[in-house]
């Protein structure tokens, strides 16, 4: 089939992804249509959000995962929670000298009925005392993702932290209607570079040249049973 492979490469995040586009376009009517199923819109939105979270965390080395909870009966108003989180990160920024830093957070409506928890990821050591002082509304927990196989780097640790945060992206959709699934510090989003090539092998070779190494992972979602869509690939570098 005439066409080309188009990849979006995120050098700082160490990954690339894309698909094959036929010469007639990526969506076709009739037999073999790749038009998405409208019923999967929410699932696709959550998948895109997980991808963005993973790239943001990997690009910025966010390998510390934390949780903030409220004391007492908790907080049940998502508007109040978002205001508290803004003040929390402003407090951290002041305590760290005033410089902006990358972070990402995801809300979770706790099933115990105690209201909202907030999970966050950062990429630098922050004194527990500073975290507790900046929060001041309950309890804090934070840990470095460091129990990975020997040879794992910060980027891999950050992907694990992103995975923890991403568990909550598709939860509580009704309760968070009108709000973002997650939020992050602006100005730290990884930049993408387009790669266009007539074959998949050439696209991978071009991405490898840019990264200075072959990808450790080459995953073809379209070769998984049940996948519906165009030929697709995802690459990652440790």
Concatenate the DSSP letters of all residues of 172-234 into one string: -TTTTTTS-S-EE-TT-PPP-EEEEESSHHHHHHHHHHHHTS--SEEE-GGGSTT--SS-EEE
Q: What are the percentages of helix, strand and coil residues in the chain, rounded to 5? A: 30, 25, 45
Tokens of 117: 């928890």
Residue-wise pLDDT for 132-166, tens only, equals 999 999 999 999 998 888 778 899 999 999 999 99
- Structural domain tally of the chain? 1
**pLDDT of amino acid 26:** 46
Mean pLDDT of 33-39: 52
Is the separation of the CB atoms in 10 and 192 below 8 Å? yes
**pLDDT band, very low/low/confident/very high, at 53 (cuts 50, 70, 90):** very high
The answer to the question of residue 213 being in a domain is no
| 52 occurs within a structural domain | no
Provide the domain limits for residue 81: 58-184
List pLDDT tens digits, range 74-98.
Answer: 999 999 999 999 999 999 999 999 9
Token pair 């379209």 in the structure block, residue = 222
CA-based torsion, 20, 24, 25, 30: positive or negative: negative
Mean pLDDT for the stretch of residues 117-146 = 96
Interior CA angle at 94 toward 153 and 176, to 5°? 70
**pLDDT bucket at 29, cuts 50 / 70 / 90:** very low
Asked whether residue 77 is domain-assigned, the answer is yes
Flag whether 113 is in a domain: yes
CATH number at residue 162: 3.30.70
- Cα distances from 60 to residues 142, 154, 175, in angstroms, run 18, 9, 29
pLDDT above 80: residue 34: no
> Is residue 69 in a domain?
yes
In a domain, 166, yes or no: yes
CA atoms within 13 A on the CB side of 147: 2
Q: Is residue 168 part of a domain?
A: yes
What whole-number distance in Å separates Cα of residue 189 and Cα of residue 187?
6
Q: Look up residue 191 and give its two tokens.
A: 């930049």
Tokens describing residue 228: 């519906």
Residue 30 lies in a domain: no
Q: What would the pLDDT profile of 164-215 be if each residue is shown by its tens digit?
A: 999 888 665 445 556 788 999 999 999 999 999 999 999 999 999 999 999 9
Q: What is the value of pTM for the model shown?
A: 0.87
Looking at beta carbons, which pairs linking 146-150 to residues 24 or more positions away fall under 8 Å? Answer: 146/63
Tokens of 11: 């050098």
Q: What is the pLDDT of residue 28?
A: 41
């Amino acid at each position: 089939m005439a066409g080309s492979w188009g990849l979006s490469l995120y050098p700082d995040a160490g990954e690339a992804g894309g698909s094959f586009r036929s010469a007639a376009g990526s969506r076709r009517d009739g037999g073999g249509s790749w038009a998405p199923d409208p019923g999967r819109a929410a699932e696709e939105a959550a998948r895109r959000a997980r991808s963005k979270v993973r790239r943001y965390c990997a690009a910025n080395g966010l390998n510390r995962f934390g949780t903030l909870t409220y004391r007492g009966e908790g907080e049940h108003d998502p508007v109040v929670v978002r205001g508290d989180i803004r003040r929390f990160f402003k407090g951290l920024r002041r305590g760290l000298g005033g410089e902006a830093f990358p972070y990402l957070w995801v809300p979770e409506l706790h099933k115990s009925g105690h209201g909202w928890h907030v999970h966050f990821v950062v990429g630098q050591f922050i004194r527990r005392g500073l975290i507790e002082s900046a929060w001041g509304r309950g309890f804090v927990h934070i840990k470095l993702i460091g129990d990975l196989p020997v040879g794992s780097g910060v980027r891999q640790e950050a992907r694990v932290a992103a995975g923890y945060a991403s568990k909550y992206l598709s939860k509580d959709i009704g309760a968070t209607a009108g709000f973002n699934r997650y939020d992050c510090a602006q100005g730290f989003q990884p930049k993408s570079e387009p790669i266009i090539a007539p074959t998949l092998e050439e696209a991978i070779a071009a991405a490898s040249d840019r990264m200075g190494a072959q990808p450790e992972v080459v995953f073809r979602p379209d070769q998984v049973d049940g996948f519906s869509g165009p030929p697709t690939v995802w690459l990652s570098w440790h």
